[in-house]
Amino acid sequence: MKKLSNDLILRVLSGKPTERTPIWLMRQAGRFLPQYMAVRAKYDFLTICRTPEIAAEVTIQPVDVVGVDAAIIFSDILVLPEAMGMELIVEEGGGGPRFTNPVKDKAAASAVHDADCENSLGYVANAIRITVGRLGGRVPLIGFCGSPWTLLAYMVEGKGGDFSRARAFLHEEPAMAHRLLDMITRNAVSYLKMQHEAGVDVVQIFDSWAGFLSVELYKEFSIRYIGQIVEALTPDLPVIVFAKGANHSLEALAESMPSAIGVDWTIPINEASARIGVVVQGNLDPAVLLARSEIVEHEARKILESAPRGKHIFNLGHGILQNTPVESVKALVHFVKTWKHG
């Protein structure tokens, strides 16, 4: 076990007492930070992901600049499907990431294969090792992957959007969908285990597009597979499940026994906590960080006051927006770190 000088997040996840609420922010390493933009001016996004030294550098930036209580390894959820045979490109100029060969028929589905994680995703493990060394135990390091449903949604659709093609696919080709979800699940487990061996202390599963599914489909095509990942990893490795738009299914999600559930901003944090009992993470609306500082404090205070004591990790309800002022993020982190229960 490595020695951490700040293990607040790990203590919350294992039910141990803490002196204050810890905070980290989804997408904390990224385009709102001028230090990231300076690196990004020299290298394209995938080059940063695939070059361990550079990935480590941008992973640590938010720890140094804004003082969060954890680092999250710089990568992307789409690198796992890439390692499973999907060709990933990221268009410069705002086009975003895209698969050139979406899974739209049987032939495309059968081209998807198991990933050889050590070989094709070894750069992530290397970035983790370098990051752990450079962090020197200052804060824990979070690993991650996309949920099987969220990854399948990109694999079928090819890119972000309303995922209507992916949703139709679940209805039209349920057997093929289950076969692919099964495969993604198995690969996600290997990938997260590799991240654990390389040195991450906790992992988060991003189910960013939970909210596109009905209660019924969500249970069948997402929760079931998230549960398998959680079961394979815990208790050795704590697992946080962030499910955006899944407030209709929190109880069902909690049955998959994650160490914590991350919720979006549309539900009061105390209500989420009362419904599920497990540690909750969240849930400031990222847009609040664009508002005046008194508003940021007011909204953060509401969350801190109502969240269950010792069973809450402060975060946003989704990723930081690109146009967020760094000063606003610094002020939020300072506010949360110095806030005391009355």
- Residues lying near ligand 1CP in the complex (CB under 6 A): 26-31, 40, 45, 72, 74, 76-78, 96-97, 144, 160, 206, 208, 319
The CA distance from 140 to 8, in Å, is 9
Is 179 tagged catalytic?
Answer: no
Q: How far is the CB of 176 from ligand 1CP (least distance, A)?
A: 22
Angle at 160 between CA 159 and CA 165, to 5 degrees: 75
Cβ proximity to ligand 1CP: between 302 and 326 the closer is 326
Is 40 tagged catalytic?
Answer: yes
Active-site hit among 36, 50, 69, 76: 76
DSSP 221: I
Q: How far is the CB of 315 from ligand 1CP (least distance, A)?
A: 11
Cβ proximity to ligand 1CP: between 19 and 92 the closer is 92
CA 297 to chain centre: 24
Sheet holding 202-207, edge to edge: 71-72, 141-146, 202-207, 239-243, 260-262, 279-284, 312-316
Q: How far is the CB of 62 from ligand 1CP (least distance, A)?
A: 7
The CA distance from 291 to 271, in Å, is 25
Q: How far is the CB of 297 from ligand 1CP (least distance, A)?
A: 23
Cβ proximity to ligand 1CP: between 144 and 170 the closer is 144
Is 116 tagged catalytic?
Answer: no
Cβ proximity to ligand 1CP: between 30 and 227 the closer is 30
User: Please, are residues 55 and 48 in contact by the beta-carbon 8 Å criterion?
Assistant: yes
Active-site hit among 7, 50, 69, 154: 154
User: Please, are residues 18 and 310 in contact by the beta-carbon 8 Å criterion?
Assistant: yes
Cβ proximity to ligand 1CP: between 183 and 206 the closer is 206
User: Please, are residues 240 and 204 in contact by the beta-carbon 8 Å criterion?
Assistant: yes
Is 138 tagged catalytic?
Answer: no
Q: How far is the CB of 49 from ligand 1CP (least distance, A)?
A: 8
Element (H, E) at 283: strand 279-284
Cβ proximity to ligand 1CP: between 229 and 309 the closer is 229
Is 76 tagged catalytic?
Answer: yes
Active-site hit among 11, 20, 27, 98: 27
Q: How far is the CB of 328 from ligand 1CP (least distance, A)?
A: 17
CA 127 to chain centre: 17
Active-site hit among 31, 98, 138, 179: 31
Element (H, E) at 327: helix 326-338
Burial (0-12, 13-18, 19+ Cβ within 10 Å), 308: middle
Q: Which residue shows structure tokens 């982190």?
A: 333
DSSP letters spanning 51-110: -HHHHHHHHHHHHHHT--S-EE-S--TTHHHHHTTPPEEEETTTTEEEESS---SHHHHH
Active-site hit among 40, 98, 138, 165: 40
Residue nearest ligand 1CP, Cβ-based: 160
**Residues noted as catalytic:** 27, 31, 40, 76, 154
